[in-house]
Amino acid sequence: MTEPISRRQTLQTLMKHGRFLLAIPLTPFFSSWLHASFAQAATEQPKGEIMNQASSPDTLDPYRLPRHVVPIRYDLRLEPDLTAARFAGQETITLTIHHSTSEIVLNAIELDITSAQIAGDSGSSEQATIALDAALERCHLTFATPLSPGTCRLTMTFSGTLNDKLRGFYRSTYKDERGATHSMAATQFEATDARRAFPCWDEPDFKAVFATTLVIDPTLTAVSNTTIASETLAGGKKIVRFADSIKMSTYLVAFIVGRIEPTEPVMIGKTPLRLWAVPGKGHLARFGQDIAAASLTFFESYYGIPYPGDKLDLLAIPDFASGAMENLGAITYRETALLVDRQSATHGELERVADVVAHENAHMWFGDLVTMSWWNGLWLNEAFATFMEMLAVDAWKPEWKRWDSFGVSRAAAFSVDGLHSTRPIEYPVQAPKDADAMFDVLTYEKGASVLRMLEQHIGSTVFRDGVRDYLRAHAYGNADTKDLWVSLGKIAKQPVPELMDGWIFQPGFPLVTANVSPSSELTITQQRFSYLSKTQSGSSQDQRWQIPLQMRITAGGKTSTSRLLLTEKNTKVPLPHNWESILLNEEGHGFYRVRYAPELLDRILNAGIDRLAVTERFNLINDAWATTVAGLMPLTDYLDLTGRFIAERDKNVWAVLLDSFSFLNRIITVADRPALEAFVRGRVGPAVADLGWAPRNGESELTKQLRGELIGAQGKLGNDPAIQRRAAELYRTYCDDATAVDPNVVPSLVATLAHTGDATRYDEFNERLRTAATPQEERRYLFSLAAFQPTALLERTLARTISGEIRTQDAPFLVSAILGNVYGRELAWAFVKANWEKMDHMFPKQGLRRMCGGIISLATPELERDVRDFFATRKIDLGGKTLEQYLEQLRIGVNMRERNGIGLRQYLQAFR
Ligand SMILES: [Zn+2]
């Protein structure tokens, strides 16, 4: 699955100006023989997989089903009624009964189950007594006569509601070009919502074959995981029967029914690939289809295994809670993550579509063909898909320098993993809400970061061969983290588990401190990094990691690279007597922060930061900012350091700088804001003046994106009147002729004009929202409505988030954006408090959770107290450690304000 708003983009969103205009500042700172053998494996009952008692869960766990009855095959028939928003269903589940039992327990919730009947091989059949347990989302079937071991078929009839909560089997609506509203039905089952569509063994290791039949209105179209086996008309209905799926988990099943239109298929090997959209949007599918084709080809080659399905459809759904969902053969997307107009989109918008499409395709193997055994191993799916999306997009568009911008993802992971309330990548999961809370920056970005570190440590070819070994060994089955290490260790001939366990099973990451003695001995010390001091925490300071450390030593005018594996708290390294400078974390792949003794930092700076690679400059400033927030570096030293980056022209490095300025903007008093604005203008202005407003011949996409983001920062954070006037002029030009302005600049024009806008501008942007030509343009204008300053306008936006006017896939993010707007945060917080019950009822769960992330912007002591009171009094649980993490991030902001407020004011006086 992909989050609705990419976490790696959250760092940039603070200055974002329109790509999302969404400030959820997560960063306080921040081949053919295989075909034959796999086909055979798919139809065989695996030996010892589900029934492996050594690895089976404790059957006393209320959230785990007993393992003595195991599904092999589901024959599903569903009849959705889009008008009545209801569906009727019937299923026959072929089961293996391992020992005699008079009870079958499976998952179901919000279903009306009317009959359940079991039939054995002998032809005997018996009706079950049905009892539903809503709290545990289970259905108990009891039989008067105990069932004997062997194979039997359970047939159930049931019905349910096509809900509006964007989970299970749900309804989505859209308006056609004439303004008429249409309904469609779609599914979102991950993590535990297949049970809302049909009674099932809804755990990832109960893999089975699915044979789906959809009974629909003849004017509609149906898509599911596999090709259509037959289509017939009967009783005024179209009966669409789909081919058998491979053996797979329930959370990957999908049905989509509506007026949807496909592109012409392109053949990737034997796989027909199509994109689907509601009528009128097919022209926005080309870019997505290109990266879908390129990444599918890339993955077949990388994994050395053909795509496991019989076709691949990518479908844009108008209402969609997450970013996308990797249902095998029927991947669903929110429109912004799949449909895009190449000509009018920003580089960031194109990159987002490429990332998400590549990510979901990577899952067809990692996740769908081989699946984690349980949700604690979710990182195996998601970290891998995130890592593979980078590889595939980098191979497709090397000029995008995707691994450079991966630094922003790594930084997002650092910002949460530096909290005492972080968690290990692999973390116990019981209840469904805890499974939902696992879809976070630690699973995706930290997971992908440590995989990248391992790949660079053991070598990319060895790593790839280990991945191939793992996939072949566990195809059509489930696996755990240790299985991956076994494969990688076997191929690498290295003790991979010993190296990786510290990164996967313990929370946090190391701060590596470098000191040098007068006798030229380098001492490298590791300790767990944290933003808040030890006295405020209970975290262990004795944690150790095995750190693959790459170091560049310059001596006598020559540079050399040293590789070490740090295992101890202190490591001493003799340096050549004529050493000039030392850089730790060369190339920047390591998942640790570096803190240099002042002399070492001076030598790096004096040698010239332009001699460092992009990722090295990125880490230098990002680590400096983090150590500043942690109180290990004076804020004034950090602010001086930012002055060394005036000539910087990399968008990622600038993302760190602007993120830190936004952080200061949140903690500063109203009286000091003009001085901060002047400081920002001093830092950003030279680059804006140099880059100008229009692209130059031969300029890279990345520079175009940087221009847009710097203009936006100067217009908003810098509050520069000259930029604001020019933005207004250029926006008028753009309205007359959209091709007259580079697309990468447009979001910053919109953001700057919203920042200074009045009711007339609000109405104008609202009209542009209504008539937007692309999903990206729609989002740009939607989020602009959170960026105004006048209270009356922000009140209008807030009211619309719960009026049903704004889709619930977006509404919580809009509230969060206003929480992040320093002119609207108190208003938005009061609105959240007053409307919590309604929001809790209306918004998708993960949207509500992300909305609450906005509280970290409420960085005043009074607001912090109020926030803590509210969540404690209401006993609100966002699942996992989510709320704890938000509250700690808020504490860090307030702590920074209390510690640095006066010093910051004095420092900034010089810029007034
Ligand atoms: Zn994913």
3-state secondary structure 210-235: EEEEEEECCCCEEEECCCEEEEEEEC
- The pLDDT value given to residue 550: 97
Neighbours of ion ligand 1 (CB under 5 A): 1, 382, 385
- Interatomic CA distance for residues 195 and 189, integer angstroms: 8
- The pLDDT value given to residue 6: 66
Q: 378 CA to middle of ligand 1, Å? A: 9
DSSP secondary structure letter of residue 104:
E
Q: 8 CA to middle of ligand 1, Å? A: 14
Bridge partners of 173? Answer: 183
Give the residue from 7, 20, 23, 30 showing the smallest Cα distance to 386: 7
Q: 383 CA to middle of ligand 1, Å? A: 8
Count Cβ neighbours within 10 Å for each residue of 744-783 and write b for 16 or more, e otherwise. Answer: bbbbbbbbbbbbbbeeebbebbbebbeeeebbbbbbbbbb
User: Does the CA dihedral 367-372-375-380 come out positive or negative?
Assistant: negative
- The pLDDT value given to residue 23: 31
Residues in the chain, pLDDT under 50: 11-58, 536-537
Which residue in 360, 426, 586, 709 is the catalytic one? 360
- The pLDDT value given to residue 534: 61
The reported pTM is 0.94
Q: 270 CA to middle of ligand 1, Å? A: 24
- The pLDDT value given to residue 902: 87
- Interatomic CA distance for residues 248 and 232, integer angstroms: 27
Q: 359 CA to middle of ligand 1, Å? A: 6
Tell the residue number behind the tokens 């079958």, with chain if given: 104
> Phi then psi for 442, rounded to 5 degrees?
-75, -45
- The pLDDT value given to residue 40: 36
Q: 385 CA to middle of ligand 1, Å? A: 6
Question: Which ranges constitute the DSSP H helices of 397-492?
Answer: 402-417, 432-437, 441, 447-458, 460-474, 481-492
What does the pLDDT look like over 279-308, one tens digit per residue? 999 999 999 999 999 999 999 999 999 999
- The pLDDT value given to residue 29: 35
**669 CB contacts (<8 Å, ≥6 apart)?**
901, 905
Q: Which strands, in side-by-side order, build the sheet including 111-120?
A: 125-127, 111-120, 150-161, 86-97, 69-81, 209-216, 237-242, 228-234
* Catalytic residue status for 709: no
- The CA-atom distances, in angstroms, between 133 and each of 159, 652, 717 are 17, 50, 53
- The CA-atom distances, in angstroms, between 646 and each of 114, 649, 654, 694, 710 are 70, 9, 10, 20, 12
Q: Are 139 and 107 in contact (CB under 8 A)?
A: yes
- The pLDDT value given to residue 7: 55
- The pLDDT value given to residue 59: 52
Q: 389 CA to middle of ligand 1, Å? A: 10
Question: E strand or H helix at 142, and its extent?
Answer: strand 138-147
CB atoms within 10 A of CB 700: 15
Q: 353 CA to middle of ligand 1, Å? A: 14
* DSSP output for 677-733: HHHHHHHHHHHHHHH-SSPPTT--HHHHHHHHHHHHHHHHTS--HHHHHHHHHHHHH
- Interatomic CA distance for residues 26 and 42, integer angstroms: 42
Q: 382 CA to middle of ligand 1, Å? A: 5
Q: Are 415 and 170 in contact (CB under 8 A)?
A: no
